[in-house]
């Protein structure tokens, strides 16, 4: 499974099968980033590392230092790896 295909688990799946009687658990859910979504995207300033909010169509520029190099933030999704 590629990481693009990955479906974020809901975290509320119930245990099925298994005669162990013990508690089962699912893969951990992704963090809750609700409230950060919407029209505003955040970027990282390449010069001063400040978090820059950018509206659609706004000038690509750091509001603090004026640098024009902004980086995309890391994905908010949980990413799964094999420890191998």
Partner 1 sequence: MPHKPPTKEELERRKIVGINEETITDVSSTDFPGHYPGEDHSWDIESFRRGFRIEFHQNDPFEASFSLIGVDASIANAFRRIMIADIPTLAIETVFINNNTSVIQDEVLSHRLGLIPFKGGHEGLHKFLKWWRKPTDEALVNNSYYDYNTVSLRLEVQCEHNDKAAAGETDPTKLYKHAHVYARDIEFCPVGRQDKYFSGADIIAPVNPDILIAKLRPGQEISLSMHMHKGVGSDHAKFSPVATASYRLMPVIKIERPILGRDAEKFARCFPRGVIGLEKVTKKEAAQKGSGYEGHDGELKAVVVDPMRDTVSRECLRHDEFKGKVKLGRRRDHFIYLVESTGQWESDAIFLEAVAHLKKRAADLEKQVINMVR
Integer angstrom CA distances of residue 53 from 4, 5, 9, 74: 26, 29, 29, 15
Question: For residues 29 and 58, which CB has a smaller minimum distance to partner 1 in the complex?
Answer: 29
The number of residues that bind partner 1 (CB under 8 A) is 26
Residues of span 4-33 touching partner 1 by CB under 8 A = 9, 13, 15-18, 20, 22-28, 30-31
Q: Say how far apart CA 55 and CA 39 lie, in whole Å.
A: 7
Among 15, 27, 29, 65, binds Zn ion (CB under 5 A): 65
Assess contact for 60 and 42: CB atoms under 8 A: no
Assess 62 for contact with Zn ion (CB under 5 A).
yes
């Amino acid at each position: 499974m590629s990481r693009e295909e990955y479906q974020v688990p809901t975290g509320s799946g119930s245990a099925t099968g298994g005669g162990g009687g013990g508690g089962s658990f699912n893969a951990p859910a992704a963090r809750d980033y609700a409230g950060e979504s919407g029209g505003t995207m955040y970027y990282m300033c390449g010069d001063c590392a400040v978090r820059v909010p950018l509206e659609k169509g706004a000038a690509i520029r750091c509001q603090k230092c004026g640098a024009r190099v902004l980086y995309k933030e890391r994905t908010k999704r949980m990413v799964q790896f094999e420890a191998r």
